[in-house]
Amino acid sequence: MANTFEIRKTSNLHLFGLPLYDIAIGGAHRQHARGIVAIGQVATGVIAIGPVAMGLVAIGAVSMGVFSVGAVTLGALAAGAVSLGGDVVGAVAIGYHAVGAVML
């Protein structure tokens, strides 16, 4: 069995039923981080950072949020290679105000 690198940290302080921060990185299985600030392979929170991120502010390869940045993004304000939403910037931009090489 191979050794795997894993970090799992959760705040003891909770606001609105969510921990202040939740960090879930590595491990043999994909872990989901949920918190006000969430950092992990799959992250859900007010501020979410990870390969798959969902939140008010989302930063990740695949991200969804009001403000989102990543390769494939969906949001009111989105920036990425493929962006969908209201005000978007990207190589392929689909939105109400779109800026990019291909705009719809």
pTM of the model: 0.89
3-state SS, 16-64, equals CCEECEEEEEECCCCCEEEEEEEEECEEEEEEEECCEEEEEEEECCEEE
SS3 category, 90:
coil
Residue-wise pLDDT for 48-95, tens only, equals 999 999 999 999 999 999 999 999 999 999 999 999 999 999 999 999
Type of residue at 28: A
Residue-wise pLDDT for 24-60, tens only, equals 998 777 789 999 999 999 999 999 999 999 999 999 9
